[in-house]
Structure formats: structure tokens, C-alpha cells
């Protein structure tokens, strides 16, 4: 009975973690360049259950377990990790001159307080100092470092990633990619670690567009409802196990 409590409780903990991941995805459904997270389940080691009152043969070379197996007993589940789904989001047109979307396996390079980070969120703007920055104010990197322009003059980003002020080319967006087979490590809502990143080769820039989040709101809501039902089922199992254990402790001694 105590084992049943642990098994059901582990299911509740796992479903709670799933709900947290789904809530994070839904909160960023409208965030440009956001990549949804997916929680990965792992079961605890199963146990082989055998009849306990059958004979166990003892021989000179050791025991032989001839008891027939009843079956396997699961001991619960746990969320072993959270992985990021890097599937591309839909490209939508914004007609904003500093918006840029990437087509291919590339990332924009951004200078943050934690060092160079990667992002697919191309919703850029100018700050008061004339730097092209993210919506949170982190400088966007070009081939020559942070991109600086005259904030009083018109600035545009071309489809090849080049940054122009009027007709004069200022710099070009630094677009990087991770080595083949390396899973991006998420460091923020839309940021990824730049460990081992190299210049992207098969990636193009689309000016005046943004990559939407790859979160499917409908699917996330369905998964959230299913997870809630699973949580409630595990909760009822805990209550049933607790009631049974209580009766065993309080009623059996009275017999």
C-alpha cells in the first residue's frame, strides 16, 4: 500500500511538471522566434512480481526460483528532462524595416550580459544610442560587432542581412548555426547558448518578416486538459491508497 502511494504521487509530480512546461509554451505562443519545450517521461524500474508462498528450491549450487511470475509492477514515472522542439514557425509579414526572419537552420547573434547568445527572434529596434537591439535592449551583432547607426536617419535591413542607412551599407547581420547533431541549449525564452556556433551557410534573411512561435495553442490546450485528468486520476489513487492504509491500521487491530 505504501508503494502504491509513492507510485501515484510520482504521477502527480510528473503531471505538475508537464503543466508547467505547457503553461510556459502557451505564455509564449505569440512570441516571435519562440521554440516550444517538450517534457520527456521516464518510468522507474519495473519489478517482477511472483507468488510468495510457492516453493523456492535449494540446491548445492544455490537456489532455483521456480515460483511462477504474476507480472510486472510499475513503480511510477518521472520527467527525465525537457527538450526543445526546433521545428520552424510560420513566417509572417510585418513590413517593419527592422524586422527580420530566418529561413534555414541559422540564428541571429546577440550580445547579452551572459555573453553572445543565439535567437530566432528578429523583432529588432533602435535604442537611443543608435544601436540595433532586441526588444529587451540587447545589442544585435553584425560582422564587425554591435551594429551602430545614426538614429536620426532611416535604417533598413536587406533580404541578404545587410544593414543600410539610406543607400550606404553599414554592416551585415551575423547569422550563426550550431554544428550538425548538436542540440541547442535554451538559456531564455528565445535565447540559446552559442557554444561552437559557426557562420551559417544555408540560411537566408527575409526583411520585413518575423518567424512566429512554433507553439500550437490548440494542441497545448488539449495536452493541458489531458494532463489535468491524469493528475486527478493519480490524486484519487493516492486518496484510495490512504483510505485503505488507514483502515488497515485502525480497523484490523480491532478484529
Read off the pTM.
0.79
For the stretch 143-166, pLDDT in tens is 999 999 988 888 889 888 899 988
What pLDDT, on a 0 to 100 scale, did the predictor assign at position 201? Answer: 86
What pLDDT, on a 0 to 100 scale, did the predictor assign at position 240? Answer: 86
Residues with Cβ within 8 Å of 166's Cβ and at least 6 positions away in sequence, in order, are 153, 154
Same domain, 204 and 239: no
**Predicted confidence (pLDDT) at residue 54 exceeds the cutoff of 90:** no
For the stretch 218-243, pLDDT in tens is 999 999 999 999 989 988 888 888 78
Same domain, 60 and 102: no
Same domain, 69 and 164: no
Same domain, 129 and 181: yes
Same domain, 11 and 113: no
Please name the helix (run of DSSP H) or strand (run of DSSP E) that holds residue 117, with its range, or none: strand 115-119
Number of domains in the chain: 2
Which residue shows C-alpha cell 533602435?
Answer: 126
What pLDDT, on a 0 to 100 scale, did the predictor assign at position 56? Answer: 58
For the stretch 55-67, pLDDT in tens is 655 666 666 666 6
Same domain, 97 and 200: yes
What pLDDT, on a 0 to 100 scale, did the predictor assign at position 250? Answer: 76
Domain closes at, from 177, 194, 211:
211
Same domain, 16 and 73: yes
**Predicted confidence (pLDDT) at residue 95 exceeds the cutoff of 80:** yes
Q: How far apart are CA 34 and CA 200, in angstroms?
A: 20
CA distances from 250 to 1, 76, 152, 245 (A): 15, 27, 81, 9
Which residue shows C-alpha cell 548445492?
Answer: 60
Q: How far apart are CA 218 and CA 26, in angstroms?
A: 10
Range of the domain at 54: 2-85+215-254
Instruction: Using pLDDT thresholds of 50, 70 and 90, give the confidence band for residue 70.
Output: low
Same domain, 189 and 223: no
What pLDDT, on a 0 to 100 scale, did the predictor assign at position 234? Answer: 87
Amino acid at each position: 500500500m505504501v508503494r502504491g502511494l509513492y507510485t501515484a504521487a510520482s504521477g502527480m509530480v510528473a503531471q505538475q511538471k508537464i503543466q508547467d512546461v505547457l503553461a510556459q509554451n502557451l505564455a509564449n505562443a505569440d512570441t516571435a522566434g519562440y521554440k516550444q519545450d517538450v517534457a520527456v517521461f521516464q518510468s522507474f524500474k519495473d519489478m517482477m512480481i511472483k507468488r510468495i508462498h510457492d516453493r523456492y528450491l535449494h540446491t548445492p549450487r544455490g537456489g532455483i526460483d521456480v515460483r511462477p511470475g504474476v507480472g510486472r509492477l510499475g513503480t511510477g514515472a518521472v520527467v527525465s528532462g525537457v527538450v526543445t522542439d526546433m521545428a520552424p514557425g510560420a513566417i509572417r509579414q510585418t513590413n517593419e524595416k527592422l524586422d527580420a526572419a530566418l529561413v534555414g537552420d541559422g540564428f541571429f547573434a546577440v550580445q547579452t550580459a551572459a555573453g553572445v547568445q543565439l535567437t530566432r527572434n528578429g523583432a529588432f529596434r533602435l535604442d537611443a544610442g543608435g544601436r540595433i537591439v532586441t526588444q529587451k535592449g540587447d545589442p544585435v551583432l553584425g560582422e564587425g560587432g554591435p551594429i551602430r547607426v545614426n538614429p536620426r536617419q532611416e535604417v533598413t535591413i536587406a533580404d541578404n542581412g545587410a544593414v543600410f542607412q539610406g543607400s550606404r551599407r553599414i554592416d551585415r547581420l551575423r547569422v550563426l548555426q550550431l554544428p550538425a547533431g548538436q542540440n541547442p541549449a535554451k538559456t531564455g525564452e528565445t535565447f540559446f547558448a552559442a557554444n561552437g556556433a559557426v557562420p551559417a551557410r544555408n540560411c537566408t534573411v527575409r526583411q520585413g518578416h518575423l518567424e512566429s512561435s512554433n507553439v500550437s495553442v490548440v494542441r497545448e490546450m488539449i495536452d493541458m486538459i489531458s494532463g489535468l485528468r491524469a493528475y486527478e486520476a493519480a490524486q484519487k489513487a493516492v486518496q484510495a491508497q490512504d483510505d485503505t492504509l488507514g483502515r488497515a491500521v485502525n480497523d484490523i487491530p480491532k478484529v
